[in-house]
Amino acid sequence: MITIKNLSLRYGDFYALNQITLDIPRGSWSCLVGPNGAGKTTFLKTMLGNKPYDGSISIDGIEVYKNLRNVAFVPQRPEIPAGMNVAEYVMLGRARLDGWGRDSNSSRKYAMEILEEMQLVAMRRQLVTQLSGGEMQRVLIARALVQEAELMILDEPTSALDLHHQISTLDHIERAQKNGTTIVSTMHDITLGAMYAERIIIMQQGRVLLDGQAREVIHSQELKMAFDDGITIHTLENGRPVIVANKATASL
């Protein structure tokens, strides 16, 4: 269980995160949605525990700040190192489990399985600097998956992927969730987010506007409010909700 109490983060007078209180159950998938600048990425990065914050974020009662736990993180804009190939990059995700020494055979085997699942085997000797945006994103997720982490934090994990890879990648993340990993992600595509996450957390201006079951949140007034009434929710014949942005009418 991740317990967040009165979490705030301030830059000068600006509150990037403002009094957030949340419980995230173990093994759940929570998806943060909200307009640009709502504080979603800041929230994810703060959960890592790398930087100080006000309030409390604890996992099973242990504060996350400066506490190196097995948390996988997929940033939206990773720092792409020169001169490192895909295999090496992915194996960094296993380094802690191998005690920072030589790669163990079991790690190399496990990494190969993940590369196969993610259809990355053929490019394992390519330098990561030579990958396309979508390939890099899948490699990043592969690195997160090999960590076998207790918590996986993903910032827009599918933003650079084509439709086929969006679904297959989210399926892999879902499999990790089924194996007990807690998932917290952001996703601009709320429809897609609602397909995978059972919980949706709406953020606006550093606050949590609403947090609850995906099905309920998606039909809430708060969701429309967060996007300034700029969205419409349709329901498909199979009962699945689809969220679309309204075309601006002012200019018509």
Partner 1 sequence: MKNSEIGRIWHWQITAIVGVVLFIVLLLGVSFGPISLDFQQIIRTLLGLSGGLQDEEKALFLQLRLPRVLLAALVGAALATSGAVYQTVFRNPLADPYLLGAAAGAGLGATIALAGGRSSFYAALPLFAFIGAALAVAATFVISGRSYADPAMLLLSGIAIGSFATAVQTYLQQRNSEVLRPVYSWILGQLTVADWQVVKWASFYIILALSVLIRMSRQLDGLLLSDEEAFSLGISPNKVRIIAIGAATLATATAVSASGLIGFVGIVVPHLVRGITKRATNRALFTVALFGAAFLVLADLGARTLLSPAELPIGVITAFVGAPFLLFVLRAKRVLK
Half-sphere exposure of 32 (CA within 13 A, CB side): 30
Cβ distance to partner 1 smaller for residue 65 or 212: 65
Asked if 71 interacts with partner 1 (CB under 8 A), we say yes
Alpha carbons 7 and 20: distance in angstroms, whole number: 5
Determine contact, residues 96/121, Cβ cutoff 8 Å.
no
SS3 content of the chain, % helix, strand, coil (to 5): 35, 30, 35
Asked if 91 interacts with partner 1 (CB under 8 A), we say yes
Using CB under 8 A as the binding rule, the residues of this chain from 154 to 213 that contact partner 1 are none
Cβ distance to partner 1 smaller for residue 73 or 227: 73
Asked if 109 interacts with partner 1 (CB under 8 A), we say yes
Other C-beta atoms lying within 10 Å of the C-beta of residue 207: 15
Q: Which of 10, 26, 54, 92 binds partner 1 (CB under 8 A)?
A: 92
Candidates 110-118, 165-173, 218-226, 240-248 — which segment interacts with partner 1 by CB under 8 A?
110-118
Determine contact, residues 232/247, Cβ cutoff 8 Å.
no
Q: Which of 1, 68, 225, 242 binds partner 1 (CB under 8 A)?
A: 68
b/e map 210-247, b = 16+ CB within 10 Å: bbeebeebbebeebbebbeeeeeeeeeeeeebebeeee
Cβ distance to partner 1 smaller for residue 181 or 204: 181
Alpha carbons 64 and 25: distance in angstroms, whole number: 16
Asked if 38 interacts with partner 1 (CB under 8 A), we say no
Q: Which positions touch partner 1 (CB under 8 A)?
A: 45, 48-50, 66, 68, 70-73, 75, 78-79, 81-85, 87-88, 90-93, 95-96, 100-101, 103, 105, 108-109, 111-112, 115, 121, 124, 127, 129, 147, 153
